[in-house]
Amino acid sequence: MVPRYLFVGLILVLNFLSCYSSQSHLWQSARQKLNIQYDYSYPTEPIRQQLDVYYPKLESDHGVTSLKPVVLFIHGGAWQFGSKEHGRRIALSLVTQGFVVVSINYRLSSEQNQVKFPDHIRDVAKSFAWVYQNIGKFGGNANEIFVSGYSAGGHLAALLALDPSHLHEVGLTPKNITGVICISGVYEISPTQPELNTPFSTDEKACRKASPLEYVSAVAPPFLVLYAEHELWDLGDMAKKFANKLISFGIETKLVQVENRDHLTIFQNVLRSRKDPANQTILSFLQAHSQIHPVPKAAEIP
């Protein structure tokens, strides 16, 4: 029997690969550079260490190009499924608002390979380093990089921002992160959860090391933590616990329950409509913590 969480991951893969082909006309407002190799340490499946960059047309103000804030997006899929293509619709929405968006792949775990924590987060750190070093070529501001993720991606976004060891390995620190957006993330890895044994471990110490909750400190960047009213497992309670711990350390944190949503539809609706409350909350968070101003409504996507 397929565990429920892995089944959700499979649904995500099938759903997002086919959902938005009808939106191709909207891409006229964005530019894209696809399948950029950010690392070469996984030659058996190099696509897992690639990223896509989506960016608005470079504008010049009196001869000076205005650099845009950057959003790095990390897909979900139980650390075993998923693809950077899941970030395409989010990228479209944010590019029209003046952001540069980078959607990344990272190595995925399976029973047939040796990929386990910390391989996923090491790839995320390497992709972040690539963005920091190269995003200026696409009009992005390396001093304004947000990290965002959904589900397993939310876990990786939080861990990157809170455990400094991963960014230290690539010569950076969490201070290089402007803000973090976690959508239905996982913040505590348990060895007693069978669905997590393949990407992580049955060892309690190893699971604690992979848990963002273990690394909350007073030097974290601002966080936006979203969760669905009808979440998978106990992810709603976990989000509250995580946000409350951030707040207890004095970290600027916004916790939002998105009503009438479950673990799948919270992300689906963010993609489908700029009028979705989660979509609006994310955009407001980005605008509040960057040097960008709201785009007139005529430029918005319905």
pLDDT value of residue 21: 40
Q: Which residues pair with 262 in a beta bridge?
A: 230
- Segment 220-243 shows an average pLDDT of 96
Q: Per-residue pLDDT for 160 more than 90? A: yes
Phi, psi for residue 53 in degrees, rounded to 5: -115, 130
Please state, for a pLDDT cut of 70, what percent of the chain lies above it: 84
Q: By three-state DSSP, how is residue 215 classified?
A: helix
Whether omega for the bond prior to residue 194 falls within 30 degrees of 0, making it cis, is no
Q: Which pair of tokens denotes residue 43?
A: 């030659």
The span from the CA of 67 to the CA of 206, in Å, is 40
- Is residue 116 within 8 Å of 201, Cβ to Cβ? yes
State the angle between helix axes of 152-162 and 119-134 in degrees (0 to 180), rounded to the nearest 10: 70
Helix (H) or strand (E) holding 65: strand 64-65
For 267-300, write each residue's pLDDT tens digit: 988 877 778 889 999 999 999 999 875 544 434 4
Nearest-angstrom CA–CA distance, 193 and 207: 11
61-103 pLDDT per residue, tens: 545 568 999 999 999 999 999 999 999 988 988 998 999 999 9
At 202, list the tokens: 């049955």
Q: What pLDDT score does 65 carry?
A: 64
pLDDT score for 29: 65
pTM of the complete model: 0.90
What lies within 8 Å, CB to CB, of 44 at 6+ separation is: none
Domains of the chain: 27-57+78-289 (3.40.50.1820)
**pLDDT tens column, 163-211:** 999 999 999 999 999 999 999 999 999 999 888 999 999 999 999 999 9
